[in-house]
Amino acid sequence: MPIKNRLAEMLPEIIAWRQDIHAHPELRFAEHRTAAMVARKLRDFGCDDVVEGVGKTGVIGVIHGRGKGSGRVIGFRADMDALPITEATGLAHASTSPGKMHACGHDGHTAMLLGAAQYMAETRAFDGTVVLVFQPAEEGGGGARAMVDDGMLDRFGVQEIYGMHNWPGLPVGSFATRVGPLMAAADFFDIRLRGKGGHGAMPHQTVDTTVAAAQVVMALQQIVARNVDPLKPAVLSICALHTDSDTHNVIAGEAVLKGTVRYLHPEVQSLIRSRIDEVARATAAACGAEAVLEYRPCVPPTINAPETVAHAIAAAQAVAGAVQTDIAPVMGGEDFADFLTERPGAFIFVGNGDSAALHHPTYEFNDDAIAAGCSWFATLAEQQMPLRH
């Protein structure tokens, strides 16, 4: 039976799973209900092995195909966590947890991989093994790295790994990807400034860290504009400024800047990191203050290798007929990149149609994309591990 036909039969049930997950969002490393649901369904489907608690709250399912000769093992990943956002959709299946929301579509990703798992467990129309990776804590929690550090790839013998993310603005059910960098690295930093606080009417007796922080913010803008190769995209954003003063007439003695750095080429990181440190210290010193940088690499760029992204494209073409292969890189980060630093693989976008943007309180995953997403996973398994007749 063609994949799409069987998935069309399953679609109402998969939508119900998705909407149930949406109504019960859980934040990073707290996906206990979602993980239990996933594990229960994988066992119900007849998966050959189901392991919980991988990378803290991750779940692994294993399905062996009917063929026994290839020895190939391919991993498919879906993320499970929600965001600390208050939902504003007004939907019947809206979040029942105040301040938590599936505003990035991870409910849809989990449901799509579950649908594909049920289909593949029924048909087993491939020669090899599929490892289903239900990952926690994609939203800044390092869930992919936690699973890698837990030995997941080696333990289950994963040779290649593939992932998918819905994308607002792409036609629903269509696919887009590219060779090379698809999504940016995401690093975070804090700059702590120390001066001397005092009375707002006597600034000459202080070292004003608010003024120093303001000048550091402006000085940092020269790094991307004047130090980074213009042909290597990068972003440096200061997103928060806090001081130890919370009133009208006290000059702050301490201030903290919080920011993020994004880039597509790994070699850019060391340049930006060193320049942030140099510019912040020198600018603060000119104001009589001290600046200390804490820089935290979070995830590397998501880089699709030519051979493996060709596999992802072939499966998408079989499902959708055509694939956009020249999509512009995205400066948002994705911790699927941590898997790609360990194993070959590829990442692809599936269209969510004309929806609100990701991470927006009115965002909603488009259930019309489910059949295409499920089909892509199953088709990729069957194409890359074909049964021998």
Query: Nearest CA to 99 among 30, 6, 147, 164?
Result: 30
- Checking if the pLDDT of 127 tops 80, the result is yes
For the chain, list the domains and their CATH numbers. 3-179+305-384 (3.40.630.10), 184-299 (3.30.70.360)
* Cα 210 from Cα 299, distance rounded (Å): 31
Q: Tell me the whole-structure pTM to 2 decimals.
A: 0.94
Residue 66 CB: number of other CB atoms within 10 A? 10
Strand 175-176 versus strand 302-304 pairing type: unpaired
Alpha carbons 49 and 64: distance in angstroms, whole number: 9
pLDDT mean across residues, the chain? 97
pLDDT the model gives residue 1: 42
Task: Report DSSP state, residue 336.
Answer: T
The angle subtended at Cα 333 by Cα 331 and Cα 337, nearest 5°, is: 125
Q: How many CB atoms lie within 10 A of CB 249?
A: 8
Tokens of 75: 């991993």
pLDDT at 26: 98
Q: What DSSP designation does 207 have? A: B
pLDDT in tens, 307-359: 999 999 999 999 999 999 999 999 999 999 999 999 999 999 999 999 999 99
- Work out the pLDDT band at 68, boundaries 50, 70, 90: confident
Counting other chains too, the contacts that 243-249 makes at CB distance below 8 Å and 24 or more residues apart are: 243/209, 243/210, 243/213, 244/197, 245/197, 245/210, 248/200, 249/199, 249/200, 249/201
For 78, which DSSP code? E
